[in-house]
Amino acid sequence: MAIVSINNVQKHYGAYHALKGVSVQMEDGEFVVLVGPSGCGKSTLLRMIAGLESISDGTIEIGSRVVNDLRPKHRDVALVFQNYALYPHMTVEQNMSYALRLQKTPKHIIEEKVGRAARILGLMELLQRYPRQLSGGQRQRVAMGRAIVRDPQVFLFDEPLSNLDAKLRVQMRAEIKQLHQRLKTTVVYVTHDQIEAMTMADKIIVMRDGIIEQIGSPIELFDRPRNTFVAGFIGSPSMNFIPGAVKDGRFVAGIGVHLPLPDGARVDAVTYGIRPEHLKLDDAGIPADVVVVEPMGSSTQIIAKVAETPITVISTERLALQPGSTVRLMPDVPAVHLFDRSGLRITG
């Protein structure tokens, strides 16, 4: 276990400035998720922690050591990729023990460590199989097993689940989380999938264009996003944003469309943010024209237009709605987010 400290880290790829001064501390034993759209720099940061990418400026510390100039194998980290990178000609057992054999670890210790990892991951029955004889989920487990046997101070995961089908992804998500609860090793996990970030993280780092937009627990980011980017990125389906202006204590969003405001709302709000699950169908609400109705079993997703802005609503009621009909929507006022002209959140 170790603290990972990132101090004003920069990355230049030639003329391209991929990381523009990133600072964050990952605590001992914490499960930290780096999340953001493709190209925001999250893999670059992970690869810099691993030692696979040079650091243009700033420092990275693992434990109390600055690791900038340490080779990957001396950093005491283990990396798990999305494509598993298993050796096809080696059995599961040989794949898992490979790094230890390279280090000339005594045989009985290798057996003990591989046995322990295999038991944790449910791989005991599969030790003599080759990667081609395994399912995607089993291969992913072997890749994790290879990392576990090394007893690293930090696990680094680079989009480890993106090659798996949706159902297996959900299952592996839970397995990785359980694994962390058991081993309590610091984890840095990269994903572009905000649901993975929400469900797995102790701490989420939201990145965009080489900078950190916000750091917080999943619930902090969901309840108190710093700006419209984080508000739109965290939560599924995304938060609705309605442009307008504050007049006479109400938010005017279009001709004749007035939305209720929380107490003490500032007059410089120009964007009204409301999550799909915080809109209720209510006769006292604002009129909206139904465009699409998507029954999802336990809930129904409705897309309806308010003052020409498409709004997503999630309702857990069984609704018999048709496109073209009119509904009335009532925001749950305490759950409203307001943003100023620069996109910063100004409520709560």
CB 294 within 8 Å of CB 300? yes
Pairing state of beta strands 77-80 and 154-158?
parallel
Q: Which of 9, 22, 41, 126 is in the footprint of ligand ADP by CB under 6 A? A: 41
> How far is residue 312's CA from residue 274's CA, in Å, rounded to a whole number?
9
SS3 171: helix
Of the two residues 45 and 148, which places its CB atom closer to ligand ADP in the complex? 45
Of the two residues 35 and 265, which places its CB atom closer to ligand ADP in the complex? 35
**Stretch near ligand ADP under the rule CB under 6 A, chosen from 1-9, 34-42, 84-92, 275-283:** 34-42
Q: Does 18 bind ligand ADP (CB under 6 A)?
A: yes
| Rounded least distance, CB 43 to ligand ADP, Å | 3
Q: Report the 10 Å Cβ neighbour count for 318.
A: 8
Of the two residues 46 and 118, which places its CB atom closer to ligand ADP in the complex? 46
SS3 256: coil
Q: Does 44 bind ligand ADP (CB under 6 A)?
A: yes
Q: Does 16 bind ligand ADP (CB under 6 A)?
A: yes
Q: What does the angle CA 265 – CA 266 – CA 268 come to, to the nearest 5 degrees? A: 140
**Window 267-306: residues binding ligand ADP (CB under 6 A):** none
Of the two residues 11 and 180, which places its CB atom closer to ligand ADP in the complex? 11
| Rounded least distance, CB 234 to ligand ADP, Å | 16
Q: What is the DSSP string of 175-216?
A: HHHHHHHHH--EEEEEES-HHHHHHH-SEEEEEETTEEEEEE
Of the two residues 175 and 213, which places its CB atom closer to ligand ADP in the complex? 213
Of the two residues 16 and 322, which places its CB atom closer to ligand ADP in the complex? 16
Establish how many alpha carbons lie within 13 A of residue 25's alpha carbon, considering only the half-sphere containing its beta carbon: 6
**Stretch near ligand ADP under the rule CB under 6 A, chosen from 12-20, 89-97, 195-203, 215-223:** 12-20
Ramachandran angles phi, psi of 47, nearest 5°? -65, -30
**Stretch near ligand ADP under the rule CB under 6 A, chosen from 33-41, 90-98, 196-204, 291-299:** 33-41
Q: Does 212 bind ligand ADP (CB under 6 A)?
A: no
Of the two residues 191 and 271, which places its CB atom closer to ligand ADP in the complex? 191
Q: Does 191 bind ligand ADP (CB under 6 A)?
A: no
| Residue in 171, 162, 210 with CA at minimum distance from that of residue 189 | 162
First to last CA, the chain: 36
Q: Which of 26, 32, 42, 259 is in the footprint of ligand ADP by CB under 6 A? A: 42
Q: Which of 39, 72, 285, 287 is in the footprint of ligand ADP by CB under 6 A? A: 39
Of the two residues 12 and 266, which places its CB atom closer to ligand ADP in the complex? 12
What type of residue sits at position 52?
L
Q: Which of 43, 186, 214, 300 is in the footprint of ligand ADP by CB under 6 A? A: 43
> How far is residue 319's CA from residue 302's CA, in Å, rounded to a whole number?
10
SS3 141: helix
CB 172 within 8 Å of CB 199? no
Q: Does 69 bind ligand ADP (CB under 6 A)?
A: no
Ramachandran angles phi, psi of 287, nearest 5°? -70, 145
- The contacts of residue 74 (CB under 8 Å, 6+ apart) are none
Give the number of residues in contact with ligand ADP, rule: CB under 6 A. Answer: 11
Name the residues that contact ligand ADP, by CB under 6 A.
13, 16, 18, 36, 38-44
